[in-house]
A and B are shown apart, each in its own frame.
Chain A
Amino acid sequence: MIKNKIAFVAISLIIGVGVGCSRQQQHTPAPQSAGPGRAPAMDVSRLGKGSQVTVPVGSAAIKPANQSVPSFTVEAAKEYVMAHPFAAFAGGKEKKPTITRAEFLTSKQVKEILRGASTGFADDQLLCYVELKGPFTFSGPPNITVTYPRGIMIFHAATGNFVMSGGIP
């Protein structure tokens, strides 16, 4: 019974991962079987199955001023950023990061700035992109940090939600 279940989930895994990845590359791998001694008791057949990349929801930040898109102004975004300093700023306690760029851009344009990194949004989704002069430091896995000269804060143009942040070279 257990062997049957393992075999079932192994097949599900192989098919599921193949389907999940095909949306990226239209490639379906040839079925493979698990080797002896392995324990592929895993059902990931539903992972990414024909689904689109999920968009970041973000958290409430800039209050929309109207029902249109964008629902707030660049000035409102700047005010928000200055009132809520980016915690990753590593330029010293006495200093504050300065805004060097703030504008509404499509997700595609943001993606180009981020050298192809995923925003999760459709290309035509309007976002508010704010760039700051750093440095900014981010913690990763144990004992690993990385520092970048520029910081970014990105807001959804319709909801005003804070959806993405980070540092760039």
Chain B
Amino acid sequence: MFHRKVLVAVAGVILCLGLSGCATYSCGGSSGGHCYATVSWGKGDLQETDFRGFLTVVTPVQLNKGNLVINDELWLYQQGTNTCGLGACWAEVGVTSGACSTGSDTRYFWADNTPAGFICRDLGPVQPQEFGQPTMLVIARLINQTDAFEVDIEPCSRIDGVNVPCPRRPMTHVSFGNPMQPNVATIGTELGGSSGANAPPATFTENWHPDHFFAGAWVTTTGSPQVQTPPLQGSWTVNPSVQTEGGTWTTSCCQ
């Protein structure tokens, strides 16, 4: 009996090391202190007088939340205000393992923090054919609306319209009663917890910001990266300052 327990423990350690998913780290807990591998742009960075929204294309990868949560996502928010729960107002959308769901599989989600509170919605699992394929993430103010933002996830879609070999599956949502005047957009990975998380490299491409007329521009600046290494990795693998469609920001976790 004793030998069996030892064998199980040894096997667990070997499996753990083999999967590289058992690293320990200090990325807070349920009350914050999370780690990030992100890049942010202020409205000034993007030369926007009217910062209406932001779009990016993420490639969903198999996320493992470890003992808390890991997300690949887009945030649009107003920093420096306390009108939403005595804090910043924001909207966020992306792919998660652990956020507002019961399991640990990889799922789509969106959330917002408004004067009504913070609310997170579970949009269901990433379909097998959608892993590694471009998924468009959108947060943009509705035209002529002062407090409503469209929040979209569209698996198997690119912003530039290039065909993707899996069926598009648009999911549209609206963040109502959101009074934010966005002044920052952020893309990348958020990790919370202390052990066991894992995420292979995910890319954020086609980074784009619409202007007042819903025309817009690719991002051409590197923004402000914030990467807590270890356990996260994050870098520009294609610089947005060259002639590309918004560069490529690549993140991974705990490998």
**Interface-located stretch among B3-11, B14-22, B109-117:** B109-117
Q: How large, as a class, is the contact surface on chain A?
A: 35 or more
**Considering the chains assembled together, what is the distance between the CA atoms of A33 and B211 in angstroms?**
11
Of all chain B residues, the one with the shortest Cβ separation from A89 is B30
Contact A53 B214 (CB under 8 A): no
Instruction: Describe A's contact surface by its main secondary structure.
Output: loop
Contact A145 B160 (CB under 8 A): no
Contact A141 B90 (CB under 8 A): yes
**Considering the chains assembled together, what is the distance between the CA atoms of A129 and B78 in angstroms?**
29
**Considering the chains assembled together, what is the distance between the CA atoms of A95 and B85 in angstroms?**
23
A70 at the interface (CB under 8 A from B): no
CB contact between B175 and one of A42, A48, A118, A165 (< 8 Å): that residue? A118
Q: Which residues of B contact A99 (CB under 8 A)?
A: none
Q: Which residues of B contact A3 (CB under 8 A)?
A: none
Contacts A25-B144, A142-B226, A162-B122 given; does A118 touch B111 at CB 8 Å:
no
Contact B218 A54 (CB under 8 A): no
Contact A90 B30 (CB under 8 A): yes
Q: Which residues of B contact A58 (CB under 8 A)?
A: 101, 122, 124
**Considering the chains assembled together, what is the distance between the CA atoms of A138 and B214 in angstroms?**
32
Contacts A59-B107, A90-B31, A167-B118 given; does A146 touch B102 at CB 8 Å:
no
B100 at the interface (CB under 8 A from A): yes
CB contact between A138 and one of B101, B113, B176 (< 8 Å): that residue? B113
Q: Which residues of A contact B43 (CB under 8 A)?
A: none
Within 8 A of A (CB), among B141-196: 142-145, 148, 150, 152, 154, 157, 159-161, 168, 170-177, 184, 186, 190, 192
Least CB distance, A88 to chain B, in whole angstroms: 5
Q: How many A-B residue pairs have CB under 8 A?
A: 235
Least CB distance, B96 to chain A, in whole angstroms: 11
B44 at the interface (CB under 8 A from A): no
**Considering the chains assembled together, what is the distance between the CA atoms of A88 and B85 in angstroms?**
15
A102 at the interface (CB under 8 A from B): no
CB contact between A24 and one of B30, B77, B145, B157 (< 8 Å): that residue? B145
Q: What 1/0 flags go to B92-103 for Cβ under 8 Å of A? A: 100000001111
Contact A38 B226 (CB under 8 A): no
**Considering the chains assembled together, what is the distance between the CA atoms of A147 and B34 in angstroms?**
15
Within 8 A of B (CB), among A81-123: 84, 87-90, 114-118, 120
Given contacts A139-B28, A141-B40, A146-B88, 13 further A-B contacts (CB under 8 A): A21-B145, A24-B142, A25-B144, A47-B152, A59-B107, A88-B30, A116-B116, A141-B79, A142-B186, A148-B118, A164-B122, A166-B119, A167-B85
Q: Which residues of B contact A (CB under 8 A)?
A: 28, 30-32, 34, 36, 38, 40, 55, 68-69, 75, 77, 79, 84-88, 90, 92, 100-103, 107, 111-125, 138, 140, 142-145, 148, 150, 152, 154, 157, 159-161, 168, 170-177, 184, 186, 190, 192, 208, 211, 213-218, 226, 245
